[in-house]
Structure 1
Amino acid sequence: MRSQLLKNVSRIVVKLGTGVLTDSRKQPDLAQMEQLVAQVAEQCRAGREVVLVSSGAVGSGMGALGYKKRPAELAELQACAAVGQSRLMATYEGLFAKHNINVAQVLLTHEDLQGHERHLNARNTLVTLLKHRVVPIINENDAISFTELKFGDNDKLSALVASMLPADLLVILTTVDGVIENFGKSEARVISTIQQVDGEIESQVGGTDSETAVGGMTSKIQAAKIVIRSGVPLVIASGRKPNVIEDILKGEDEGTLFVPQPTRLQGRKRWIAFFHHPKGTLFVDEGAKIALRENGKSLLPPGVVRCEGEFTAGDVLRICDLDGTEFARGICNYTSEAITARQFDSSEVMHRDDLVIL
Structure 2
Amino acid sequence: MYFPVLAISAWALLAQNSGTITGTVTDVYGGALGKAAIQATNVATKAVFKAESSATGAYTLAQLPAGTYDLSATVTGMARFEQKNIAVGVAHTVQLNIKVNDFSLNTVGEDRQFFEGLTTRHKTPAGPTPRMANGKPDLSGVWLGTFLQDSGKPELTPSAQAIVNERAANHLKDVPSSRCQPNGITLFGVIFTYRVVQTPDYLVMIAEHDQPPRQIFMDGRSHPKNLDPTWLGHSIGHWEGETLVVDSVGFNGRAWIDLEGHPFTERTHITERYRRPDLGHLEVEFTIDDPSSYVKPWTIKRISDLAPKGEEVAEYVCTENNKDVPHLVGK
TM-score, shorter chain, exceeding 0.5: no
Q: Considering fraction of residues, name the structure with more strand.
A: 2
Report which of the two has the higher share of helix. 1
Give TM-score scaled by structure 2 length.
0.22
